[in-house]
Homo-oligomer: A and B are copies of this chain.
Amino acid sequence: MTIVTIIGAGMMGSGVSWPLSDQGHEVRLVGTHLDTHIIESIKKDGTHPKHKRQVAKNVKPYFYTEIPQALEGADIIVCGVSSFGVEWFIEQVKPYLKPEVPVLSITKGLVADTNGDLHIIPDYMNSLLPENLKDKISLNAVAGPCIAQELAARRQSCVYFCGRDANTLKDLRKVFATDYYHISVTTDFIGAEAGVAMKNAYAICINLAVGEYQQKGADGIAFMYNPQAALFAQSMREMRLLVELLGGKLDGLIELSGSGDLYVTVFGGRNAKLGQLLGKGLSYEQARNELANETLEGVEILTRVGTALPKLEERGLAKASDFPLLMHLLSVIRDGESVNIPWDKFFPDFEL
């Protein structure tokens, strides 16, 4: 039996508590300062208010003020915060980090330097560590199509565990894998993480077509799958270029961390909803109002990468014009432009 401490009790972090508890491990689920109501509910009657399910008996809830107790004796630390909480996470856990305790991050995103260089979240985490811990902590990540509610319902889900050491990844797999939670391991860390980082932004893009269809209607006969599919393919194109820009390989992009994770993100959630509202013709301001002014991961990654690309272009390392779909969404969300998908900029001729 292994002790796994999950920092971040939202949908994403708590989702892995189901396979862990099914495997008989002790799970310590720690809420951030934004998760107080979640922890209170679990302490009261075991119910996770967002999952609307009971967590298993071997899942113990902790407030963030109880992090020392939650990390005492932990064999594995899971990072389940959003991309906005990464600094807070490192600040909270760093007094307790040890080389023999691997960190497994579910957090998705990229971090940009001021010169435009982009980094996957685990590498950014490493840069936040004190000198005595830098490059000494085993930082790993989960990538692949895994909606948390579905994992909690024990739906068949396939993901990658990625990192730099194959043996550590295989050991992590032994702890987490169940007959419904299937884990493959890869040390193409950058390839896997760069693919999944962009999915939220591109899910907004793909849903522009869904929203336009909702607005215009079926004209009695035809749907809007052609535009959606073209946007899916252009998203895959741009994600591929970004993976290559960061130095990753393409195997994961073709499979779970690219096409699979993009596919799963298209269908539900707030990024999809934002895309539909924009596709219907709402401005970003109006759409945000309808979404209770939440800041979305998709908008965050869009802004980070969309801002980095021109900087990389100045240094001769990338071309913003290679990312016409992303840059168009940026112009809509950041600059107030109307939605007007630049179809003619997609899919250059190739192999001529």
Q: Which residues of B contact A263 (CB under 8 A)?
A: 225, 228-229, 232-233, 263
Q: Which residues of B contact A144 (CB under 8 A)?
A: 233
Asked if A187 lies at the interface with its beta carbon under 8 angstroms from chain B, I say yes
In contact, A267 and B153 (Cβ under 8 angstroms): no
Q: Which residues of B contact A185 (CB under 8 A)?
A: 349, 352
Residue of B nearest to A51 (CB): B221
Asked if A300 lies at the interface with its beta carbon under 8 angstroms from chain B, I say no
- Please tell me how many copies of the chain the complex holds: 2
For the complex, give the distance between the alpha carbons of A136 and B256 in Å.
43
Which residues of A253-286 have CB atoms within 8 Å of chain B's CB atoms? 253-256, 258-261, 263-264, 267-268
For the complex, give the distance between the alpha carbons of A144 and B229 in Å.
9
Q: Which residues of B contact A150 (CB under 8 A)?
A: 222-226
For the complex, give the distance between the alpha carbons of A254 and B223 in Å.
24
Q: Which of A52, A226, A263 has the most CB of B within 10 A?
A: A226
For the complex, give the distance between the alpha carbons of A324 and B145 in Å.
20
Q: A interface, how many residues as a size bin? A: 35 or more
Residue of B nearest to A206 (CB): B263
Q: Mark A192-225, 1 if CB is under 8 A from B, else 0.
A: 0000000000000000010000000001111111
Asked if A146 lies at the interface with its beta carbon under 8 angstroms from chain B, I say yes
For the complex, give the distance between the alpha carbons of A145 and B206 in Å.
14
**Nearest 3 A/B pairs, CB to CB:** A233-B260, A145-B229, A153-B222
Binding site for B on A (CB under 8 A): 51-53, 144-147, 149-153, 155-158, 160, 166, 170, 182, 184-188, 191, 209, 219-230, 232-234, 236-237, 240, 249-256, 258-261, 263-264, 267-268, 341, 343-344, 346-352
8 further A-B contacts with Cβ under 8 Å, apart from A156-B230, A225-B264, A229-B263, are A144-B233, A149-B221, A149-B223, A155-B222, A155-B227, A186-B350, A252-B350, A254-B254
